[in-house]
Amino acid sequence: MLPEDKMPEAEVTLRLAIFLIENGHIEGDILTAIDGAQVKTGKTIHFPIVEFLSAHGWTSPGQQKRWQSKYSNKKYTASIIVHSSAGQGDLVADLKSGQRLRVESKKGPLNRSKSSQEYSLIREAIGQLITIEHAEQSDILAVAVPKSEKFDALAEQWRDRPLMKSNGLHIITVGRDNSISGLSDIGT
């Protein structure tokens, strides 16, 4: 069961991966890095990754209960590979344009928060993105956050900021309704 008032980071990453595959934007498989603490700590499940992917038509060989796996969907040739290795980005995908998309994702509220945590969440993701260990000069770098009124407003404003544009940094918002904003200028 997903929380109604917020979207976990793993959900942001996986919804974006599913969107990219379903809309034919990628060549090959998508790599998604999900920290084990996002999925489960002790006996507490924070994000039911296997169930989430299964509900969207993605299964792993033999329906493993291990969440780190390669997930396939009969409708598509591309797979979603879920691993927990840090340093490459939360989502790495080769686009049909020939470029590689490298994304840092963040969790966040789906309704406007009183604390305006959306600012710090996007800024933290930008910081992680520009300090990534493995990236090529030609990679397209993006931040992905939940789609909400506040995140959408910040993304709209910040996409046009001079250093965001000159450094080629993109902000993508990901909705629970499978709507995605911020991809049109990436060349997908």
Q: Is the pLDDT of residue 64 over 80?
A: no
Taking only the tens place, the pLDDT of each residue in 89-100 is: 999 999 998 999
Q: Are strands 140-146 and 100-105 parallel, antiparallel or unpaired?
A: parallel
Q: Are strands 100-105 and 80-83 parallel, antiparallel or unpaired?
A: unpaired
Taking only the tens place, the pLDDT of each residue in 146-176 is: 999 999 999 999 999 999 998 889 999 999 9
In a domain, 1, yes or no: no
In a domain, 188, yes or no: no
Cα–Cα distances (Å) from 85 to 38, 45, 97, 188, in that order, read: 13, 20, 26, 26
What's the total number of domains in the chain?
1
Alpha carbons 128 and 70: distance in angstroms, whole number: 25
Q: What is the pTM of this model?
A: 0.93
Confidence at residue 30, expressed as pLDDT on a 0 to 100 scale: 98
What's the chain's average pLDDT?
90
Q: What are the start-end ranges of the H helices in the chain?
A: 9-22, 36-39, 49-55, 117-130, 149-158, 162-166
172 three-state secondary structure: strand
Alpha carbons 64 and 61: distance in angstroms, whole number: 6
In a domain, 152, yes or no: yes
In a domain, 147, yes or no: yes
In a domain, 107, yes or no: yes
**Amino acid of residue 159:** R
Q: Is the pLDDT of residue 19 over 60?
A: yes
Q: Is the pLDDT of residue 63 over 70?
A: no
Residue numbers of the domain that contains 134: 6-181
Quick one: average pLDDT of 59-83?
88
Alpha carbons 136 and 132: distance in angstroms, whole number: 10
Confidence at residue 42, expressed as pLDDT on a 0 to 100 scale: 84
In a domain, 186, yes or no: no
